[in-house]
C-alpha cells in the first residue's frame, strides 16, 4: 500500500491515521483553489524572507551611505532604490519581513487563545458568566480597533512589545464571539451529554471536546485577520507609536518616505507594496482555508 492509499483509506486503523487522512484531503481541496495557493505562496515567501534575511539582503538595512541617497529603482546594487539616508530599500524590506512576521506570530499566539477561552467558557456555562464575559467583549468591540490600539500604546509607550500587546488586546473580542457561537451549537449535543455522564468535569469538556470543535472557525478568522494586524502594526509605526527607527519596519519606512512621495516616490511606495502584497496573501489564504475547513462547504 502506497502512502497516498494509506492516507485515503476509508477505514483507518488508528486515530492518527484518520487525522492524517483528513489533513491530506483538506490539502487536496486547498490545492484545487488557485487563489488560495497564491496566498499560500505569498505567506511562505514572507516566512522564507524572514528566515533567510541575512542571506537574501544585499546590504545592511541600517548602515547609512549618504553618497547614495535617493537613488531610483534599477540602480545596480540597489534594485529598489535607496532612501534619504542611502540605505538599500530592498534590504530594509527583506529585514522588515522579520518584524512583520514577529508581530503576526505574537498576536496569533495571544489574542485567539484568550478569545477562544473566553468564548467557550461563556457559551458553555451561560447565565451570569455569559452575560459578564460578553458585556466585557462588547465594551472592547465598541471602540475602533486602531483608535483603541493608539490609546493603549500612548499610555504604554512606543515599541514593538507594546504595539503587539495593544494589537492583541484589541483583537481578541471577535474570536470570543466566534467561539461562543460554536459552543452554543454543540454544548447540548448528545456526545457532550455522554461525556458529562462519564464523569468529565467542565474544564475537561471545554478543553478536550468543545475547543477542538471551535478551532476550524478560529483558524479561518486568524488567517483573515492577519491582514488587519499587519495594517494596524504599520499604522502604529507610521504614527511613531510602534517599532522605532532605525529598525526597518514597513510602516516606519512609509512614514519616512512620505515627504518624498511626489519626487522620489519609491521610498514610500516599495514598503507600501510589500504591505499590500502580504495582506493580500493572508486574505487569499484565509478564503481558501474557509472553503476547506468550513463543514458546510466541505462537500462542495
Closest to 118 measured CA to CA, from 181, 34, 187: 181
pLDDT value at 16 more than 50: yes
pLDDT band at 53 (very low <50, low <70, confident <90, very high): very high
What percent of the chain shows pLDDT beyond 70?
A: 97
Q: Is the pLDDT of residue 23 over 90?
A: no
Cα 32 from Cα 222, distance rounded (Å):
22
Residue 296 has pLDDT above 70, yes or no: no
Exposure string (b/e) for 268-284, b if CB count within 10 Å is 16 or more? bbbbbebbeebbebbbb
Q: Give per-residue pLDDT as tens, 74-130.
A: 999 899 999 999 999 999 999 999 999 999 999 999 999 999 999 999 999 988 999
Non-local CB neighbours of 113 within 8 Å, separated by 6+ positions: none
**pLDDT at res. 167:** 92
Report the alpha-carbon distance of residue 282 to residue 15 in Å, rounded.
31
Average pLDDT over the chain, rounded to whole?
89
pLDDT at 136: 94
Q: What are phi and psi of 78, to 5 degrees?
A: -140, 75
Please say whether the beta carbons of 282 and 230 come within 8 A. Answer: yes
Helix (H, G, I), strand (E, B) or coil at 75: strand
Q: What is the pLDDT of residue 297?
A: 52
Q: What is the pTM of this model?
A: 0.87
Query: CA-CA distance, 291 to 300, in Å (whole number)?
Result: 9
From 16-25, 64-73, 97-106, the region with the lowest mean pLDDT: 16-25
Query: How far apart, in Å, do the first and last CA atoms of the chain sit?
Result: 28
Domain extents in the chain: 80-297
**Count of helix runs (H) and strand runs (E) in the chain:** 14, 0
Q: Is the pLDDT of residue 285 over 90?
A: yes
Q: What is the three-class DSSP state of 242?
A: coil
- According to DSSP, residue 66 is labeled G
Say yes or no: domain 80-297 is CATH 1.20.1600.10.
no
Query: Does 188 or 266 have the greater pLDDT score?
Result: 266
Q: How far is CA 128 from the centre of its chain?
A: 32
How many Cα atoms occupy the beta-carbon half-sphere of 50 within 13 Å?
A: 18
Amino acid at each position: 500500500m502506497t502512502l497516498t492509499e494509506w492516507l485515503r483509506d476509508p477505514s483507518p486503523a488508528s486515530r492518527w491515521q484518520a487525522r492524517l487522512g483528513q489533513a491530506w484531503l483538506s490539502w487536496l481541496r486547498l490545492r484545487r483553489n488557485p487563489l488560495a495557493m497564491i496566498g499560500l505562496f505569498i505567506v511562505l515567501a514572507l516566512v522564507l524572507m524572514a528566515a533567510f534575511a541575512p542571506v537574501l539582503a544585499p546590504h545592511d538595512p541600517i548602515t547609512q551611505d549618504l553618497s547614495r541617497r535617493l537613488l531610483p529603482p534599477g540602480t545596480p546594487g540597489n534594485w529598489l532604490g535607496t532612501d534619504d539616508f542611502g540605505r538599500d530599500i530592498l534590504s530594509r524590506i527583506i529585514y522588515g519581513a522579520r518584524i512583520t512576521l514577529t508581530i503576526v506570530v505574537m498576536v496569533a499566539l495571544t489574542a485567539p487563545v484568550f478569545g477562544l477561552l473566553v468564548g467557550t467558557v461563556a457559551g458553555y456555562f451561560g447565565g451570569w458568566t455569559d452575560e459578564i464575559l460578553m458585556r466585557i467583549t462588547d465594551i472592547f468591540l465598541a471602540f475602533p480597533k486602531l483608535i483603541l490600539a493608539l490609546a493603549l500604546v500612548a499610555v504604554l509607550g512606543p515599541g514593538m512589545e507594546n504595539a503587539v500587546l495593544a494589537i492583541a488586546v484589541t483583537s481578541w473580542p471577535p474570536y470570543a464571539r466566534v467561539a461562543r457561537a460554536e459552543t452554543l451549537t454543540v454544548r447540548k449535543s448528545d456526545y457532550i451529554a455522554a461525556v458529562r455522564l462519564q464523569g468529565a468535569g467542565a474544564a475537561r469538556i471545554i478543553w478536550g471536546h468543545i475547543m477542538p470543535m471551535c478551532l476550524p472557525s478560529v483558524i479561518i478568522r486568524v488567517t483573515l485577520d492577519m491582514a488587519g494586524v499587519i495594517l494596524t502594526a504599520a499604522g502604529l509605526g507610521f504614527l511613531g507609536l510602534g517599532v522605532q527607527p532605525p529598525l526597518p519596519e514597513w510602516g516606519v519606512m512609509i512614514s519616512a518616505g512620505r515627504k518624498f512621495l511626489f519626487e522620489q516616490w519609491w521610498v514610500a511606495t516599495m514598503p507600501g507594496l510589500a504591505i499590500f502584497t502580504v495582506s493580500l496573501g493572508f486574505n487569499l489564504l484565509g478564503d481558501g482555508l474557509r472553503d476547506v475547513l468550513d463543514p458546510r462547504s466541505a462537500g462542495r
